[in-house]
Structure 1
């Protein structure tokens, strides 16, 4: 019997769609020192977007079709970073994020599938694609799925925005039933402008990273009560320019990537979930266009 080796628990993984001469890469970051190493590079990683870790330790990466090739879902072997294709083409158009359900199921948020975006379930063994939830075309222009996460209770949470940025008050967080695909809006408007990613903390609360939230569009992190939709600011301003992805560490600390669209700063922040204090964990170096973020369980 082959025993699958895992990356060390707590290891931080970041996708970069344009790193290393636009070849694309997945970086691993030491959570204690912030040291950055290459985990996988080149191959089909140009245009890499979301990232998630499977229970066997292997790593899933979504890839946008706007780069060479078609929209696809890749698997990286935990021990070597070796790439293989799980699924491509089909219902994929612009896959922007990937999440793993408690039972091992794989979900992809696609911003353009079917015209208004969709959440697509992918069979992890065969690559077969099934639309779980189709976008409803609401908003002008319509909001589209750009990020998602799977909660421990099975609920799927999706962030939707119109992808234009700026004063977009139609952005929202939607709960998707994992069986029927039924959609319920959890929260919309408020501080949300361009939500990019969502995670669930140990208390079941949602944490949304938004690239343009708050006055001045500096971006930040917003906590959302999944029952009432009430929004509470966790962190804003400070070093944030255009935060793009979010993950939670075992101790509850938040990790947020930020790529300043007007400059060269590419930063991984650690954010205190209580005070909102920001600390730079890693920056510069090989980073080019940070897109997805995950922590190895």
Structure 2
């Protein structure tokens, strides 16, 4: 059996829901020079919402196919090639992000599944779907719904939620979901969070959140959250940011953030120093139209 190409560790992958006349695409970006190269386009990539990388280097892409009807989870060889469908329909309504658990099972955040959104576990071989945790609709504001998720080092699931329309600042939150029983615990809410839309965990276990409208003036930025106390600390704000979206962390701790409104509305990938908050434009424009997900190829495990 042929072994698929595995991209070099540190390679940055981006999904774009509207590139090439709304055909959708996956790009790879050189982490040193920032040059983008096309990995795949078209097929079922229109409406791609998030991506992550499996242990064998395959790329998983969540796809919002008929908002808010159904959606799909796609798999793509790391170096490019034929797209395959892992799972579709079923419990999916509007898949917005994807992550992989340590045992290889796939997690999908869906903003509208089962009414108030859900975290859904997908078997990587069969595509079988199981609801891990349902959203909640308590309170008078529009219920916050999942928009991104990631896994924590201890196996916990971290989900960022925000109201789809209206709602006070307190409706934005980071929730920890128990992967076994689905119990939900709010890690942090309110504060500077207004439209959290990207989440990752750094090497120290701190939670990093990209927020499209955080801070006075709704300038957007990155917030660090203490995983125990929920205390929020500003990492970066203002500067070139207009509406930060997806977030990933490189091996050296640098942050990668997409922003589709930066530089006069051009899809842009920023690199941010986590200590100083200094921003660097790594890649921008060209074929980018609406960058919705970012991931970094890890070193191969042995």
- TM-score class, shorter: over 0.9
Q: Give the Å deviation of 1:153.
A: 1.0
Q: How many residues align?
A: 297
Cross-structure match for 1:176:
177
CA RMSD of aligned residues (A): 1.7
| Rounded Cα–Cα distance in structure 1 between residues aligned with 2:145 and 2:226 | 22
Cross-structure match for 1:28:
28
From the superposition, tell whether residues 252 and 97 of structure 1 become closer, same or farther in structure 2 (CA, over 3 Å).
same
| Rounded Cα–Cα distance in structure 2 between residues aligned with 1:70 and 1:155 | 26
Q: Secondary structure at the match of 2:114?
A: helix
Contact 1:120 1:130 in 2 (8 A): yes
Q: Secondary structure at the match of 1:280?
A: strand
Moved over 4 A (4+): none
> 1:75-90, aligned counterparts within 5 Å?
75-90=75-90
TM-score (norm 2): 0.95
Q: Secondary structure at the match of 1:169?
A: helix
TM-score (norm 1): 0.96
Q: Deviations over 1:32-70 (max 9, x none)?
A: 010011111000000000100000000000001336994
Q: Give the Å deviation of 1:136.
A: 1.1
| Rounded Cα–Cα distance in structure 1 between residues aligned with 2:294 and 2:138 | 28
Cross-structure match for 2:189:
188
Deviates more, 1:65-74 or 1:263-272: 65-74
Cross-structure match for 1:57:
57
| Unmatched tracts of structure 1, length 5 or more | none
Q: Give the Å deviation of 1:265.
A: 1.8
Q: Deviations over 1:174-207 (max 9, x none)?
A: 0000100100000000000000011000000000
| Unmatched tracts of structure 2, length 5 or more | none
| Rounded Cα–Cα distance in structure 2 between residues aligned with 1:122 and 1:83 | 17
